[in-house]
Amino acid sequence: MDGKIGGAFGNGRWADKQDRSYLVSFVWLDQDAGISREVHANLRGYFGRTTIPTCESTNTVKGKTVRKPIPCFSDPQPRKRKLGDITATVYTVNQGIDEWHVLYAWKRNGSLYTVSEHVVAPYSYKQVVHNLDRMARGLVVLEPTA
């Protein structure tokens, strides 16, 4: 993946005008000799808020659909990752588009930011953490223009 927004590996970009959040997603897929491999990474920003967003859990209990709000990121790991200007909390249980991902979250100037990657072949958990370290170190701050 090249990380170019709108490039060959872009999986989409979304902005929510109501809560002022955004998502930029990248994906690489390969199906070689019947073996599927994938790399999926997300960059997110929650402008003006530092709280973990809420996702919806949907379960069927005794034939009835039960929806319950749950944190989109949970199971924070005790050791934070110091990556350049970023000190990230690592979350290993995530919901929504970040499900099955390792996710790094950090705060900057009153906003919450995340980068996550799906743990799936060809990468192990350890390799995904290495990839996330590299991605987080390579991020640069872009100031809004008028």
Q: How many domains does the chain have?
A: 1
The pLDDT of residue 5: 52
14 vs 21: CA distance, rounded Å? 8
Lowest mean pLDDT among 14-23, 48-57, 66-75, 105-114: 14-23
Query: Taking the model in full, what pTM does it have?
Result: 0.83
Query: Could you tell me if residue 101 is inside a domain?
Result: yes
On average, the pLDDT of the chain sits at 84
Q: What is the pLDDT of residues 121-130, one digit of tens each?
A: 778 999 999 9
Q: For 104-135, give one letter per residue: b (16+ CB within 10 A) or e.
A: bbbbeeeebbbbbbbbeeebeeeebbebbbeb
Residue 114 counted as domain residue: yes
- To which H or E segment does residue 131 belong? helix 125-138
With respect to residue 5, please indicate whether it lies within any of the assigned structural domains.
Answer: no
State how far the Cα of 94 lies from the Cα of 134, in Å rounded to an integer: 21
| pLDDT tens readout for residues 10-57 | 455 567 888 888 888 877 666 666 666 667 889 999 999 999 999 998
Q: What span, in angstroms and rounded, lies between the C-alpha atoms of 88 and 95? A: 18
Domain that holds residue 103: 10-138
Q: Kindly state the DSSP code that residue 121 receives in the 8-state scheme.
A: T
Whether 22 maps to a domain, the answer reads: yes
